[in-house]
Amino acid sequence: MSRRTIAVLILAVWLGAIGWLVQRQFVAAPRAEASPRWPVPPGSAFLAVRLADRQIGLTSLTVDTVPEGLRVSELVTIDLPRVTADRPRRSSARIEANYSRGLRLQSWNSDLLTEQGRRSSQGTVEGDSLLTIINAAGTASPETLTVALARPVVLPHAVALIAASRGLPKPGSRLNVAVYDPLDGALRLERVTIAAESLFVVPDSAMFSPDLNRWIVAHSDTVRSWRLESEEHGLPVWRWIDAAGMTVRVHYPLGAVISRSAFEIVNINFRALPPAPWDTTPATPAYRLRPGIPDRLASIGLHLRLVPPEPLPDSLAALTGGWQTRVADTLRVHRPDPEAAPDPAPDPRGTQPAVSPLDPALAASALAAVPSGGSPALVAQALSDWVRRTITLEDGAGLDSPARMLATRRGTAQGRVRLLVALLEAAQIKARPVWGLVRIGGQWQLRPWVEAWTGHWGPLDPAVPAASPGLRLRLGTSGEARLLDLALAAGRLRFDVFEETR
């Protein structure tokens, strides 16, 4: 073959390649627009949950592409302190959701395993305006709820995906996303600030070491990440994500640190290790749910500290307001001074249970127990006493709607809290479910209760005849009282009592 023939062939191939490139970029472009691009690429991340430098659990996040859009799966599991040496305790949450290519929620199902038992939920979104929820727990019949939406919602794990789908995040920008949390059964507006950008070196693969008898890092990768700052239940959360929206690191300033690693290091090493020791000193929250009457105190002074030692964050909205006053690392729990300036009014866009307003006909029997002409504080206490006397307390993980509890006259501790909030709202009194620690027999026990806003936030507990502010410490301003959340959000916090007033 002559040189001229070879040159002609090379020129023809080059011209053909140029023509193919033009056809792909300009001629075929309109057809490509008919099929929207994926908002984020598929991928997975495995992360270790560490509390005070020990691994107590693991979590994973997987994003898969399906013909309809994206399927996002999230799993969180932690090992709680053992009651007996031969009986492990585990709490876990699993959520699987389907999204369109525009990251619009289509359906989901979730499973929550707690100390009280197992609870599941599933639901669908129709046209971004109608949310249908089916809750089930134990042997009780499932309950279906229908909620009208003011705007499209996503599940909590999709907030980072939305931030990444809009291009590379820019520090200083803000993002507001309507979120439905299937574990809490609540709607909220999540306000996210992209605070910083950094590089992380994370394990990318692992190899087994016979000498150490465990998996070790074989290769590391440098990941460009952005920090998303937000609040969950009134406590700060700092979440680092990569350009695909996958989690690199989560930092709960009062609790756990969740960091990405290789699958074998996160899973196999953790399951092969003996149970990690937990702090059991009196200053530590007791990771057991026991009934009991709170210690009778008028006020209490506490010194707050973290283990291992670290300065407390400046912003801890859940720890301040109403009957809790914080100054640096000192917290005083006492009855609010009537002459003190009122607390800020509740944000109407805050967290709200995903149920319709309570039917006045159903609430009539409870509202009939309200003293006529009474102050908001007396009305609130009367409703709390009515719930305690009328709704029989039952064990279990179920969370019936207020309407079902009024019909059956039965409910769990968390369910009675939700019912009391609904009754207070029906009586035109702003209220919110909270959770935190109550001192019972000298130990800090996890409990849910209600706070009513009457100029100041005041506690109401359907479990006791009259709540005393000096008995309880608020840690979360929404959500449920779960040992899983206590470990993640505030597991490093310790309380040293330096003053008590009876």
Output the six-digit token pair for 174: 């803000």
- The answer to whether the beta carbons of residues 72 and 158 sit under 8 Å apart is yes
Taking a C-beta distance cutoff of 8 angstroms, is the pair 61, 157 a contact? yes
d(CA 308, CA 110): 34
The 8-class DSSP code of residue 234 comes to: T
Beta carbons within 8 Å of 47's beta carbon, 6+ residues apart: 58, 59, 60, 61, 247, 249, 250, 258, 259, 260, 261, 266
Distance of alpha carbon 417 from alpha carbon 461, whole angstroms: 8
Bridge partners of 58?
48, 77
- Residue 72 CA to residue 49 CA, distance in Å, equals 20
Measured CA to CA, the distance from residue 314 to residue 328 in angstroms comes to 8
Rounded CA-CA distance 112/185 in Å is 12
Do residues 482 and 233 make contact, with C-beta atoms less than 8 angstroms apart?
A: no
Adjacent-strand bridge partners of 97: 72, 108
* Residues β-bridged to residue 450: 433, 460
Residue 367: what pLDDT? Answer: 84
Considering Cα of 167, then 172, then 177, then 182, what sign does the dihedral take?
Answer: positive
Q: Are 343 and 455 in contact (CB under 8 A)?
A: yes
Type of residue found at 329: D
Please list the ranges in the chain whose pLDDT falls under 50: 29-35
pLDDT at residue 435, as a whole number: 94
Contact 280, 309 (CB under 8 A): no
Give the E-state strand segments of 210-321 in sequence order. 214-232, 235-241, 247-251, 257-261, 285-286, 299-306
Q: Which of 110, 102, 109 is nearest to 128 (CA)?
A: 102
Of 47, 57, 51, the closest CA to residue 91 belongs to: 57
Residue burial 322-357, b: 16+ Cβ < 10 Å; e: rest: bbbbeeeeebebbebeeeeeebeeeeeeebbbbbee
From residue 258, alpha-carbon distances to 18, 82, 266, 441 in Å are 49, 22, 11, 33
Q: What is the pLDDT of residue 34?
A: 44
Q: What is the pLDDT of residue 26?
A: 56
Buried b (16+ CB within 10 A) or exposed e, 171-207: eeeebebbbbbbbbbbbbebebebeeeeebebbeebe
Q: What is the largest CA-CA distance in the chain?
A: 109
pLDDT value, residue 1: 62
Asked if 459 and 469 count as a contact pair (C-beta separation under 8 A), the reply is yes
What pLDDT sits at residue 22? 67
Phi, psi angles (nearest 5°) of residue 275: -55, 135
Place of tokens 């930092």: 251
Q: Residues 267-271: contacts with CB within 8 Å, 24+ apart?
A: 267/46, 267/58, 268/214, 268/215, 269/214, 269/215, 270/48, 270/55, 270/57, 270/58
Q: In which residue are the tokens 């089930």 written?
A: 136
Q: Could you count the other beta carbons within 10 Å of the beta carbon of residue 407?
A: 11
462: left (phi over 0), alpha (psi -120 to 50) or beta: alpha
Q: What is the Cα–Cα distance from 306 to 37, expressed in whole angstroms?
A: 46
Q: What is the pLDDT of residue 30?
A: 46
Beta bridge partners of 43: 63
* β-pair partners for 457: 453
Distance CA 493, CA 473 (A): 12
